[in-house]
Structure 1
Amino acid sequence: MADFLDGIVMAEQRFHGEGYQEGLAEGSHSGMAEGRMCGAFHGARIGSEIGCYLGFALTWHCLLQKCTDEKNSKKIKALDSLIGMIQKFPYEDPTYDKLQEDLERIRGKFKQVCSMLNIQSGFRIGTERSSLAF
C-alpha cells in the first residue's frame, strides 16, 4: 500500500518536472525566434539610417568638390570624417559592444555637417510625407 501511495506522490513530481522541461524548451525556442525577428528589424532600421547618412555625405562631397574656397574645405573635411566613420562602422559584427556609442557619434557628426551646410537635420521617414527621420 505504501508503494502505491509513493507512486502517486512521485507521479505528481515527475509530471511537474516534465512539464517544466517542456515549457522551458518551448519558451527558449519562442524566445530565439522572437529575438531574431527583433534583431532583424532593428538591424534594418540602423542600416537604413546609416545608408541615408552615407548617401547624403557622398552627394554633398561631390557637390562641394567643384568649389575650392576655405569654407568648402572645412565642409569637405567634415564630410570626409563622416564618410570615414560610416565606412568603419562594424556592419558584420552583431556582438560589437560599442555599436550604440559609434552610432551616436555618427549621428552627432551628421548633425554637425548639416549645421555647417545650413540644412535641417530633422528628417522624417513616414507614409504621410516623403521625408526621412532618425
Structure 2
Amino acid sequence: MAEANEPDAFDVIVMAEARFHGEGYQEGYVEGSHAGAMEGQQYGIQQGARIGLEIGSYLGFSITWLRLLHKHSDDKHSKKIKVLESLIEMVQKFPHQDPTYDKLQEDLERIRGRFKQVCSLLHIPSDFRLTKEGSALSF
C-alpha cells in the first residue's frame, strides 16, 4: 500500500499532460516576450532613424533656402523667410530625444504641413520620399 505522502502513480500519469502544457506555456511566454521586445526595439530604431532622416532633410532644406533668400532679400521674400524660419523653429523644438512624447505624431504632421507650405510658396513640388538608398527631394 502506498504511503499518504507519495503521489498516486495514476495521478502522475493523468496529470502529466496538464503539467507539461502549463510548463510549455510558461516557457513559450518567456521566449515570446523576449523575442517581442527585441523585435520591438529593432522596429523602434528603424522608425526613429526614418523620422530623424525626414526631420533632418527638412532642416537642411529650410536653412539652405533661408540663406538663398537672405542674399536676395526684398519685401517679396519676407513671407517666405518668415515661413522658413517658422519651419526651422518647429524642427529645432521637435523632441527628438524623447521617444515617449505623446504628441510626437501630431508635431510631425504639423512639420510636414509647414514643409508643404514652404514648398508651395517657393513653387517647388514637395515630393519627399524615403528609400533604402536614402532620402530624395524632387525639384
TM-score, structure 2 as length reference = 0.87
Point out the structure with max Rg over C-alpha: 2
Asked if 2 retains the 8 angstrom alpha-carbon contact of 1:125 and 1:132, the reply is no
From 17, 41, 44, give the equivalent of 2:22: 17
Aligned residues: 132
Deviations 1:53-88 (A, max 9, x none): 000000011111123322211111100100000001
- Match in the other structure for 1:53: 58
Instruction: List alignment gaps of at least 5 residues for structure 1.
Output: none
In the aligned structure 2, how far is the partner of 1:13 from the partner of 1:131? 57
In the aligned structure 1, how far is the partner of 2:48 from the partner of 2:132? 21
Asked if 2 retains the 8 angstrom alpha-carbon contact of 1:54 and 1:83, the reply is yes
Instruction: List alignment gaps of at least 5 residues for structure 2.
Output: none
Over the residues paired in the alignment, what is the CA RMSD in angstroms? 2.0
CA change 1:24–1:100 in 2 (3 A) is same
From 101, 104, 109, give the equivalent of 1:96: 101
* Moved beyond 2 Å, runs of 4+: 123-128, 130-133
Asked if 2 retains the 8 angstrom alpha-carbon contact of 1:54 and 1:86, the reply is yes
In the aligned structure 1, how far is the partner of 2:130 from the partner of 2:19? 54
CA change 1:127–1:39 in 2 (3 A) is closer
TM-score, structure 1 as length reference = 0.90
- Match in the other structure for 1:79: 84
- CA drift at 1:15: 1.1
Asked if 2 retains the 8 angstrom alpha-carbon contact of 1:126 and 1:132, the reply is no
Asked if 1 retains the 8 angstrom alpha-carbon contact of 2:87 and 2:111, the reply is yes
Identify the range of structure 1 (117-126 vs 44-53) with the bigger mean alpha-carbon deviation. 117-126
